[in-house]
Structures are given as structure tokens and as C-alpha cells.
Homo-oligomer: A and B are copies of this chain.
Amino acid sequence: MAKFELDERLARDTVLATVTGLCQLRVMKDGRWPWVMLVPQRNGISEPFELTPLDQTLLTFETNMVASALKKVTGAKKINVGALGNIVGQLHVHIVARFEGDPNWPGPIWGFGSAQPRSETEIKAFIETLTQAL
């Protein structure tokens, strides 16, 4: 099987936290919301239904595991999950913790304002907390 190639923009905007099985779990550098993404390590896939049935099930399992952990460690009011891919075609699933009054609440996080990068120290601490909860 060909080596998995991560999209350049996803690589630039995120930091690898861990591998959950099928997917890389990556943390967004944008710190406006607790925001992670799962990227299935499969080349040439842009829609979830293009994955094999087993991979679809793994992606669901990993998405729900991460969403549950993210809700637990952040105390979020709601988790938002989205697979859009209008800009970056490589399949990636956003998982975002939302709070009443957060930027653009109750609207979506996508396409809103500009990224506010958080420090490497903050990202490392967040990764530590999140991965312990998985």
C-alpha cells in the first residue's frame, strides 16, 4: 500500500496528536475553539462513502470516541462534527467543542473570521489532556 500523504494545507494548519487507528488525530493551531480533526490515512479519498465499509465503521468509531473525550475534557455545551472538504479535498472530519457565546455561536466555525494561533505550550497541554481521555 502506498505511503499515506497528508495534504499540505492540513499539515500546515494542524499538529499531530496521535494515531487513533485508521486516522491521524490532529489539533488545529487556531485556538478560538477546542478544535481537532481526524484524517483517515488513505490516499485519494474525499468522501466518507468512498472508504471501504470497514474503514467507514472505523472512522465512525474514532469520530465518536474523540467527540466524547473532547466533550468530557472541555465541558462543552455541544460538539460539532463536520466533513466539508470544499477547500481541501482530502477527507478530514472536524470535531469542535462549542460553548454558548464562543466566536460565531450558534453559527458554524467554518468560514468565520481569521485563525488565532495558540502557543506550542498550549497545544501540547491540550494534546496531553485530550489523549489521556481517549
Write the residues of chain A forming the contact surface with B, with a CB cutoff of 8 angstroms. Answer: 46-49, 56-57, 59-61, 63-65, 67-68, 71, 77-87, 89, 98, 104-108, 110-111
Contacts and interface: CB of A to CB of B under 8 A. Distances in A.
A68 B57 CA distance: 16
The secondary-structure label for the interface of chain A is: mixed
B84 A78 contact: yes
B46 A78 contact: yes
Given A82-B83, A86-B78, A98-B86, A47 B60 contact: no
Q: How many copies does the complex hold?
A: 2
A77 B84 CA distance: 11
Counting from the closest, the 9 A-B pairs by CB-CB distance are: A107-B111, A86-B106, A82-B82, A49-B64, A60-B60, A108-B110, A49-B68, A108-B108, A81-B83
